[in-house]
């Protein structure tokens, strides 16, 4: 009888170990899904803040008096836009008249640290359909994502 009792005890312990491993793996998967959800939400907020910052930057006045004073590295305009948990800072800096460089830096808090994105573009004044000078992207160029360290 003792041999059977020892075998049953070992079998019960093996089942308990296997069940605890299954529970641990399920908990780990749930944690990964939750982290991915937070990252996806941060990316969506960053995209919304970048789009709003682009609209605000391109809506800045590009009148001839303002463009005439543009020099290399001279700040022209700046602002802050928020969307959800993300915040985007945009800057318009003179390159060489009549060109300017637009920079957008957006970030959102995540579980540990922040998610960031930085974009740059070369801009020049253009007359819109209402006859107002606004900033526009140069030629066929677009916003360039700057690699982060």
**DSSP states along 106-141:** EEEE-SSSEEEEEEEEEEEEEE-TTS-EEEEE-TT-
The more confidently predicted of residues 65 and 96 is 96
In the chain, the number of structural domains is 1
Domain hosting 121: range is 11-145
Is the pLDDT assigned to residue 140 strictly greater than 80?
Answer: no
Looking at the domain assignment, is residue 1 inside a domain?
A: no
Looking at the domain assignment, is residue 98 inside a domain?
A: yes
Question: Could you give the CA distance from residue 31 to residue 111 in angstroms, rounded to a whole number?
Answer: 11
Is the pLDDT assigned to residue 4 strictly greater than 70?
Answer: no
Print burial letters for 93-127: b (CB count within 10 Å at least 16), e (below 16).
Answer: bbbeebebbbbbbbbbeeeeeebebbbebebbbee
- Per-residue pLDDT at 133: 86
Question: Could you give the CA distance from residue 147 to residue 19 in angstroms, rounded to a whole number?
Answer: 45
Looking at the domain assignment, is residue 134 inside a domain?
A: yes
Looking at the domain assignment, is residue 87 inside a domain?
A: yes
User: Are 122 and 99 spatial neighbours (Cβ–Cβ below 8 Å)?
Assistant: yes
- Per-residue pLDDT at 18: 93
- Per-residue pLDDT at 6: 67
Mean of pLDDT values over 123-131 = 87
101 — pLDDT class (breaks 50, 70, 90) = very high
Mean of pLDDT values over 77-83 = 94
Question: Could you give the CA distance from residue 41 to residue 52 in angstroms, rounded to a whole number?
Answer: 17
119 Cβ contact list (under 8 Å, min separation 6) = 50, 54, 103, 104, 143, 144, 145, 146
Looking at the domain assignment, is residue 57 inside a domain?
A: yes
Which helix (H) or strand (E) segment holds residue 98: the answer is: none
Looking at the domain assignment, is residue 135 inside a domain?
A: yes
Question: Could you give the CA distance from residue 137 to residue 104 in angstroms, rounded to a whole number?
Answer: 14
- Per-residue pLDDT at 83: 94
Q: What secondary structure letter does DSSP report for 56?
A: H
Which of the residue ranges 33-42, 43-52, 106-115 has the most confident prediction, judged by mean pLDDT? 43-52
The predicted-structure confidence for 85-97, as pLDDT tens digits, reads as follows: 999 999 999 888 7
């Amino acid at each position: 009888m003792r041999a059977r009792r020892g075998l049953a005890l070992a079998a019960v312990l093996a089942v308990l170990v296997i069940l605890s491993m299954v529970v641990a793996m399920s908990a780990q998967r749930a944690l990964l899904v939750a982290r991915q959800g937070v990252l996806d939400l941060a990316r969506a907020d960053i995209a919304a803040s970048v789009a709003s910052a682009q609209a605000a930057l391109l809506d800045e006045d590009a009148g001839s008096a303002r463009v005439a004073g543009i020099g290399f590295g001279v700040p022209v305009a700046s602002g802050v836009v928020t969307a959800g948990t993300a915040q985007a800072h945009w800057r318009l800096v003179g390159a060489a008249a009549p060109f300017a460089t637009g920079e957008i830096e957006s970030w959102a808090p995540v579980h540990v640290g922040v998610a960031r994105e930085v974009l740059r573009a070369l801009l020049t004044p253009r007359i819109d359909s209402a006859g107002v000078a606004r900033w526009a992207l140069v030629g066929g160029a677009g916003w360039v994502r700057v690699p982060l360290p």
